[in-house]
Chains A and B, each alone.
Chain A
Amino acid sequence: GAVVSQHPSRVICKSGTSVKIECRSLDFQATTMFWYRQFPKKSLMLMATSNEGSKATYEQGVEKDKFLINHASLTLSTLTVTSAHPEDSSFYICSARDPSGGHQETQYFGPGTRLLVL
């Protein structure tokens, strides 16, 4: 299957700082990428849909000014957690749609980024 990478794999930061997470589709171009968040022992929750060249679409309850998403190219989307607080500590996972499947585009996921805010 297609490969999606994330960087960094884990990050520890102080409260009040900003953290940027990169998501790359390595062997395909993705016009649409997704950002999910997962708390311990919980399922993945969609945060936002990232569209190349346009503004992201955020799910209800997700603050767009706190979770900045940029999808500047067909292979890169970034999520910046601004002014991070301990409650933002979570496992952040990105996903990208591979358009090669025709009308039924399969979503592939990155390995995730574990964020710990102290």
Chain B
Amino acid sequence: DAKTTQPPSMDCAEGRAANLPCNHSTISGNEYVYWYRQIHSQGPQYIIHGLKNNETNEMASLIITEDRKSSTLILPHATLRDTAVYYCIVRATGNMLTFGGGTRLMVKP
């Protein structure tokens, strides 16, 4: 599976949108982009995934560039409970998830 690159940490003001970037320049045509987050001392929580179209659910929006080499996870109105490590993972069907370092998002009041 393609490797991803994320900033190690980001801050966001409570109530503002949090935009978390991810680079995956070596992504293949059959690989999906997944986002998970891990709140301290808990198991990872699935957020969203997509192939090439932008996706939105009750938690977040996923914007994938046209060349699919990067994506952005958007939390529209960040709350203190969104403070977590966010993992961007590229995965082909049938493969397991491989976690990188992720982005530590700190939402501040």
Measuring CB to CB, which residues of chain A are less than 8 angstroms from any residue of chain B? 1, 4, 6, 34, 36, 43-46, 49, 91, 93, 95, 103-112, 114
Contacts and interface: CB of A to CB of B under 8 A. Distances in A.
B43 interface: yes
Contacts of B101: 43
Contact of A104 (B32, B44, B45, B46): B32
B44 A44 contact: yes
Given A43-B101, A43-B102, A106-B49, A111 B42 contact: yes
Interface in B74-96: 87, 93, 96
Contacts of B46: 1, 106-109
Interface SS majority for chain B: loop
B98 A46 contact: yes
B69 to A, nearest CB: 20
B93 A111 contact: no
B49 A46 contact: no
Interface of B: 32, 34, 36, 38, 41-46, 49, 87, 93, 96-102
Contact of B45 (A45, A46, A109): A109
A34 B97 CA distance: 9
B32 A112 contact: no
Contact of B43 (A49, A105, A112): A112
Contact of B100 (A43, A95, A114): A43
A54 to B, nearest CB: 16
> 6 tightest A-B contacts by CB?
A109-B43, A44-B99, A43-B99, A109-B44, A112-B43, A93-B43
